[in-house]
Amino acid sequence: MGATKCRGPKIVAIKIIWGIRMNSLAGELNSIIEGSIVDDLLSDFGRRFFFPKGIVAQSAEAKKKATRFNATVGMATSKGKPMFLNSVRDQVAELSVSDVFPYAPTPGVLELRNIWREEMEAKNPSLKGKETSVPLVTSGLTHGLSVLGDMFLNNGDTIVFPNMFWGNYRLIFEGRNQADIVTFPFFSKDGGMNISAFEKALADAPGDKVAFVLNFPNNPTGYTPSADDGDKIIEMLLKLATGGKKILAIMDDAYFGLFYEKESLKESLFGRMADLHENILAVKVDGVTKENFAWGFRIGFLTYASKNLSTEALGAITTKTSGAIRASISNSNKMAQSLVLKSFASDTYQKEKDAGFDILKERYLMVRNLVESFDLDSPLKALPFNSGYFMTFLYKGDSEKLRVHLLEEYGIGTISIQGKYLRIAYSSVELENLEELYTLIDKAAKEAL
C-alpha cells in the first residue's frame, strides 16, 4: 500500500516575522530581549540567530545522561578517551589527553570563561558588583569583532572610529557588514583626545542607532587618553543616551594593561559603561593575545553589559552570539584554552606578566627620549603616544615612498598609513637597537622628501 501524500504545507519550525525567515528558537530568544537595548540594536542577522538544539546540544545532554554508550560526538575514541597521534601527544606530555584533543564547547571552556570574568573585575575595579554576561571565547579579537558586526550591523548602519584606527576594522565592518564608517579627528589641538569631535560624529549619525569602537591603547598611535578624558567620554555618552540615542559601545581592549604613564586611563571604559544607561549596550572584546603574550593561541573574549538588562536577556544575547560562533568557527582551540587556564594557577603568573610589561615600558621610555631628541627641522612629527606597542609619525612627505625607501635602502620594515603616517612597532625591536632604528628613520625621512 503506497504512502499517503501530504497535500498541505509541510510544518516546520520556521516562521516569517517582519519579512525575516525566523526559526522558532530565534523567536523565543527575541521574546526574552523584547523592549531592551539589545532588541533595539540587533541586526537582521542577529534577530534571526539562535543556538540550535542539534548535535552540540544533544551531545551535551548525552554527556550527562548517557550512562551506557555515548554515540553522539563525531570524535574517534579508544577506551573512553580521544584517539591521538603519539607524534603530537609527546610534544604536550604535561597536558592530559582531555585538555588537548577534544572539541571545546562552542562558548568556550566554562572554567576559563568564569576565571576571565574574575580577572576583568580585578583589573577594572569599576566593574565590581555589576552584572555582565559570562565572557564568550572567540578565536582571537578579530573574530570577536567580526561576530559583533554580524550581530548588530545592517547594511547602511553607522559605526564611528577615530581617524587613526586599525585597518582591519574597515575590512570587517565596511567590507563584511556594509556599514557606513564615520571617523573623527583623534587628537585635539592640545594633544588630548578630541572628545567634542567624537560626540559630534555620534550625534550626527542618522536615526537613533549608532555604534562605535574605541581601542585603548590605540593601534596605530599607541595613545591612551587621560583619566580626566575618560570621565568626559562617559559624561558625553550619558548625555547622548539620555537624549534618546541607542548606542552600541565596543571597547577593543587588545592592548589592555600596557599603560606606561601615570596620568593615563588605567581601566577599560567598559566598566563605567556597564550600567551607565539603558540606551547603551557595552561590549568588551579582549583576550590573551597581547595581555598574556600568546599571539598564536587565538583566544579572545566577548562580554556584554547594560544598565537594567535582565539576567535572562544577557543569557539570550549570549545564546544568540554562541549561535553566530557555531555558524562561523564552531568552537575555539581546546588546547590553547587549557594552557591559558592552567597558567592562571601558576605561582609565577603575575610575576611573568610584570616582567614582560617592564621590558615594553623600557622600550617605550627609550623611544620617547629618542623622538624628543629629533631636530626641529625633522620632517617627522610624533603623534601623542604613551602606551601599547606602537608610535606613529606624521610625515611631511609621502609615507609610502618613505616606507619603501626604508625597506629597500636600509632593510627596515615599517607601516605606511593614509599616505602621510608611518607606524613603528617598537615592541618588536630590542632596546639596544632602538637608537640605530630611529636615527636611520630620521635620516631616511629627509632623503625621501
Q: Does residue 217 have a cis peptide bond before it, meaning omega lies within 30 degrees of 0?
A: yes
What are the structural domain ranges in the chain?
Answer: 92-344, 349-447
User: What's the pLDDT at 2?
Assistant: 43
Contact (CB, 8 A) for 414 and 441: yes
Residue 143 CA to residue 287 CA, distance in Å, equals: 11
Number of H helices, E strands in the chain: 18, 15
- Give the three cell numbers for residue 57: 546540544
Distance CA 121, CA 128 (A): 6
Indicate the residue type of 166. Answer: W
DSSP 8-class letter at 281: E
pLDDT (tens digit, 9 = 90+) per residue, 92-103? 999 999 999 999
Q: Which regions in the chain score pLDDT beneath 50? A: 1-14, 17-18
- Asked if residue 246 lies in contact with residue 210, where contact means CB atoms within 8 angstroms, the answer is yes
CATH architecture for segment(s) 349-447:
Alpha-Beta Complex (3.90)
Does residue 32 contact residue 301 with C-beta atoms inside 8 Å? no
Cβ contacts of residue 344 below 8 Å, gap of 6+? 115, 119
CATH code of domain 92-344: 3.40.640.10
